[in-house]
């Protein structure tokens, strides 16, 4: 975990530097050099234009990014707490120092303050809410105390400033670049026929559209892609690309942690990609239960949205440090029937289907 955290902290300043260097070249009229630089740096042209067309306040955005870096460290600590608790019959450590060195290399320091360790805010007994961690080092940058607790879902516990710049933050952490990687779970394979022309597809937790636009290409002009996220600001970028590329079949939907906000029976294929950390409790593995969860109502709403005969494809990286756990039993209780559950390799891939004859929309399959 600590290695991944160090990589997260170090990688993205180069990305921002490329954006500004490209802008300088454009302002001098050196368009070919700009394009070459963006290509070499792996910066998507739509991302570049979005930064400057929308007139982002750089000072406020950087303050929000610092808060995100701090929050990501709190996520790593919280993940270590979960693992510790699972291995100690639900008990929590008396202090964060007890996590070192088995679960953490060291107790992290806030990247904004340079000296504030999170141990001072740790309260091991918070009842149903689970342990709580916070950091107050960001007030001078206009960001309230950064806090993480077990029942905070990504995007919900963010400060107003973090939410305002969430699209830029996700772009700067490289989420859009992942769309250049192969995505075999979008293709036909064991248990899933792949995204076909005319399908209605829901990309749940789409973020800045890492996979949304590839889904749109596969579903074609007769299909529909619902880009669904709980943070409205990331959908601003999805709409920006959809309007200019264009992808007229992409529609954005603001959801909540407990409801995907899609009409009943409106979806042929639903995807949850890197939204949850998945636990296979069929083999006795237990998801640490440190607090309340929105998983059950969320999955029930998703089940209502998928047509009889439709598919749910869940992709969870095996190295995920996502603090939100979900189990195979959670899907079963919501009414999803397993078709193929594959654990191991780079990604855990779970394919489910909704019982009943397939009722399709759009073109015949």
Q: Residue 333 contacts by C-beta under 8 Å, 6 or more apart in sequence?
A: 296, 299
Buried-exposed string 51-80: b where 16+ CB fall within 10 A, e elsewhere: beeeeeeeeebebbbbbbbbbbbbbbbbbb
Q: Report the C-alpha gap between 326 and 348 in whole angstroms.
A: 12
3-state secondary structure of 183: coil
The domain limits of the chain are 2-172, 178-354
* Among 229, 301, 225, 231, residue whose Cα is nearest residue 263: 301
Tell me which range, 26-40, 275-289, 322-336, is most confidently predicted by mean pLDDT.
26-40
Q: Say which DSSP state 345 is in.
A: S
Q: Give the helix/strand (H/E) hosting 251.
A: strand 250-254
134: alpha, beta or left, given left = phi > 0 and alpha = psi -120 to 50?
Answer: beta
* Among 220, 182, 223, 229, residue whose Cα is nearest residue 201: 223
Residue 344 has pLDDT above 90, yes or no: no
What values do phi and psi take at 173, rounded to 5?
-90, 5
By residue count, the chain amounts to 365
Q: What share of the chain is helix, strand, coil (3-state, %, to 5)?
A: 40, 20, 40
- The answer to whether residues 262 and 253 touch, using CB atoms and an 8 Å cutoff, is yes
Residue 227 has pLDDT above 90, yes or no: yes
pTM for the structure as a whole: 0.73
Superfamily holding 178-354: Vaccinia Virus protein VP39 (3.40.50.150)
Band (357; pLDDT cuts 50, 70, 90)? low
* Among 331, 199, 192, residue whose Cα is nearest residue 266: 199
pLDDT of residue 209: 93
The predicted-structure confidence for 83-96, as pLDDT tens digits, reads as follows 888 888 888 888 88
3-state secondary structure of 201: strand
Q: Give the helix/strand (H/E) hosting 354.
A: strand 347-354
What values do phi and psi take at 127, rounded to 5?
65, -135
Mean pLDDT of 125-147: 60
pLDDT of residue 300: 93
Within 10 angstroms of residue 182's Cβ, the number of other Cβ atoms is 7
The predicted-structure confidence for 94-107, as pLDDT tens digits, reads as follows 888 888 888 888 88
Q: Residue 13 contacts by C-beta under 8 Å, 6 or more apart in sequence?
A: none
Across all residues in the chain, what is the average pLDDT?
78
**126 vs 217, which has greater pLDDT?**
217
Least confident span in 21-30, 114-123, 181-190, 354-363: 354-363
Measured over the CA atoms of residue 161, residue 166, residue 167 and residue 171, the dihedral's sign is positive
Q: Report the C-alpha gap between 144 and 190 in whole angstroms.
A: 48
Where are the alpha helices (H) located in 133-174, listed in sequence order? 160-164, 166-172
Least confident span in 5-14, 60-69, 221-230, 233-242: 5-14
Q: Report the C-alpha gap between 134 and 145 in whole angstroms.
A: 7
């Amino acid at each position: 975990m600590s290695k991944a955290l160090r990589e997260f902290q170090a990688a993205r300043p180069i990305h921002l530097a490329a954006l500004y260097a490209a802008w300088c070249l454009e302002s001098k009229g050196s368009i070919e050099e700009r394009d070459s630089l963006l290509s070499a740096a792996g910066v998507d042209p739509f991302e570049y234009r979005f930064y400057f067309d929308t007139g982002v306040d750089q000072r406020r955005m950087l303050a929000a990014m610092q808060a995100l870096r701090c929050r990501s460290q709190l996520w790593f600590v919280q993940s270590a707490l979960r693992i510790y608790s699972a291995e100690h019959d639900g008990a929590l450590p008396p202090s964060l120092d007890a996590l070192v060195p088995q679960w953490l290399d060291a107790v992290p320091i806030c990247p904004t303050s340079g000296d504030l360790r999170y141990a001072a805010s740790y309260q091991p007994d918070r009842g149903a809410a689970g342990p709580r961690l916070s950091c107050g080092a960001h007030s001078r940058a206009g960001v309230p105390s950064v806090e993480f607790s077990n029942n905070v879902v990504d995007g919900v516990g963010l400060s107003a400033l973090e939410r305002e710049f969430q699209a830029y933050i996700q772009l700067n952490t490289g989420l859009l670049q992942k769309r250049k990687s192969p995505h075999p779970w979008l293709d036909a394979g064991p248990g899933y026929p792949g995204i076909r022309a005319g399908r209605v597809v829901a990309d749940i937790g789409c973020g800045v559209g890492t996979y949304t636009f590839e889904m749109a290409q596969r579903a074609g002009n007769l299909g529909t892609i619902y880009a669904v996220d709980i943070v409205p600001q990331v959908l601003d970028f999805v709409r920006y690309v959809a309007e200019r590329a264009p992808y007229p079949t992409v529609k954005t939907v603001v959801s909540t942690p407990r409801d995907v906000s899609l009409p009943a029976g409106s979806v042929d294929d639903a995807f949850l990609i890197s939204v949850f950390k998945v636990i296979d409790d069929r083999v006795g593995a237990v998801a640490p239960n440190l607090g309340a969860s929105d998983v059950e109502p969320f999955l029930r709403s998703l089940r209502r949205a998928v047509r009889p005969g439709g598919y749910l494809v869940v992709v969870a990286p095996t190295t995920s440090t996502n603090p939100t756990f979900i189990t195979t039993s959670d899907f079963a209780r919501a009414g999803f029937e397993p078709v193929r559950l594959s654990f191991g390799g780079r990604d855990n891939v779970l394919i489910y289907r909704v019982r009943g004859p397939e009722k399709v929309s759009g073109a015949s399959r």
